Copies of this chain bind each other. A is one copy, B any other.
Amino acid sequence: MANQTPHVQLLLTGNEIMSGDTVDSNSALIARRLGELGVPVLRKVTVGDDRNLLIRELAAMAEVADLVIVNGGLGPTVDDLTAEVVAAVAGVPLAEHPGAIAHLEAWCARRNLPLNAANRKQAMLPAGCALLDNPVGSAVGFDVSVGSCRILSTPGVPGELAKMLDIIVADLGRRLERASEHSVLRLQTFGLGESSAQQLIADACPDWPAEVELGFRAGAPQMEIKLSVDSAAALPARDLCRAQLESLFGDHIIGEGDTQLAEAVLDLLRARGKTLTTAESCTGGLVASMLTRIAGSSDAFHAGFVTYANDIKSAVLGVDEQTLQEHGAVSEPVVRQMAEGALARASADYVIAVSGIAGPTGGTPDKPVGTVWLAWGERDAIETLQLCWPVERTLFQTMLAAAGLDMIRRRLLGLNSQPRYFAQRRVG
């Protein structure tokens, strides 16, 4: 397999994927991780938990592919068929794998559970297989060769798959010597749309070099920009492209790799020895939750307030009742007083305050669903801004929580430019 691109196929199993109850994001994750090595996935097939269908698909794949990754069906229940199917295609019996038993015993011991019959089934693997360690869950993966095809069976739980892919990708990378030449630079951005970013790049960089592949992955709240090259010789061109992207929308770039907005903000605060507090109405604790998801956030985040009701805005944050009556909860003076109240009560250096109408109800002709006031900054230097972001409730909460974090990020970096989303979302 060394020194040439292997033919890779994916086989996905699970009734919940076939029924549409679960959207399969695992195959996208596998494709992205293999993509880091410059290895494309040629074809993927999904079938339900049906022994005969699975055997037929896997046998056909094993005849033509160099590598098949099977995902799902490693659990303890009767509809988890992967071990049985791989054994049938490899023409070997199932056998209790001592390494898998040891893994399961350790897993159960950590949870004070006995090793029951259902768990024990997870150690019945194709005879002679190698194990793929699962540092997170009970199901081990396994590695079986059928003719010239290598079959890797991986767990369906996304967090477990992600960890196992680290192992698989590192191993494949070692086998593919040319892989070390393939390199992917990922930039995380907030506030850019995929099509407008693409258009801006096309306009500003007509001579984009062919050897630098440009890709986008739009998510909520962030969008990833990806620069891939296939050889070390293309790295200087890649660096020039990066510089062009930075001059085009540098202030929208949060960081490299998987950097999250909350992480970037916490790093900036930590470097300055500063703390941040939050006063949230329509985002209902999401800004605080995004911050505290990051390990070590307690260095820079000590307190947050969720003040959903008007009387709580007064009682907890000291917002003036008359201001609330005159201007309503979604107004400049109220969001400013929320910010000031939170700063004082938390003795924090920086604050984010959000008050808006997340919907689906609660809008008025004056303040339709999607209307929101943001406040951010330091004592005696609080800025405010009205946006209108009329999207579905949870997406609204996600985008506005991120916008609040982005305002603090921009303040901490001393950026004076206006983010591009102001042009579309700003009111007044």
Q: Which residues of A pack against B, CB within 8 Å? A: 15-25, 27-33, 35, 40-48, 53, 57, 75-79, 110-113, 116-119, 136, 138, 157, 159, 194-196, 198-199, 215-218, 224, 226, 278, 280, 282-289, 291-293, 295-298, 301-309, 311-312, 315-316, 345-347, 358-361, 390, 392-395, 397, 424
Contacts and interface: CB of A to CB of B under 8 A. Distances in A.
B295 A303 contact: no
A20 B16 contact: no
A424 B119 CA distance: 16
B297 A285 contact: no
A288 B284 CA distance: 6
Contacts of A113: 424
Contacts of A194: 75-77
A298 B308 contact: yes
A303 B79 CA distance: 44
A207 B358 CA distance: 49
A326 B386 CA distance: 46
A20 B35 contact: yes
A24 to B, nearest CB: 7
A302 B312 contact: yes
A35 to B, nearest CB: 6
Contacts of A315: 303, 345-347
A31 B18 contact: yes
A113 B393 CA distance: 21
Contact of A32 (B19, B157, B296): B19
A357 to B, nearest CB: 11
Given A15-B215, A194-B75, A360 B292 contact: no
Given A284-B293, A289-B289, 14 more contacts: A18-B31, A18-B44, A20-B33, A20-B35, A43-B46, A116-B196, A136-B392, A159-B392, A284-B301, A285-B292, A302-B311, A303-B316, A304-B308, A306-B306
A358 to B, nearest CB: 8
Nearest to A360: B295
Nearest to A25: B23
Nearest to A110: B390
Contact of A306 (B30, B40, B292, B394): B292
A368 to B, nearest CB: 11
A118 to B, nearest CB: 4
A20 B27 contact: yes
Nearest to A305: B305
B316 A309 contact: no
A19 B34 CA distance: 9
A33 B224 CA distance: 29
A349 to B, nearest CB: 13
A45 B44 contact: yes
B312 A308 contact: no
Nearest to A163: B392
A307 B358 CA distance: 25
Contacts of A289: 283-286, 288-289, 397
B22 A17 contact: no
Given A198-B76, A285-B288, A29 B20 contact: yes
A77 B194 CA distance: 8
A30 B20 contact: yes
Contacts of A27: 20, 24, 46
A301 B316 CA distance: 14
A49 B110 CA distance: 47
A33 to B, nearest CB: 8
Contacts of A138: 195
Given A195-B119, A392-B136, A216 B53 contact: no
A309 B288 CA distance: 13
Contacts of A16: 215, 217
Contact of A19 (B40, B292, B316, B390): B40
Contacts of A358: 292, 295
A319 to B, nearest CB: 13
Contacts of A424: 111-113
A53 B47 contact: no
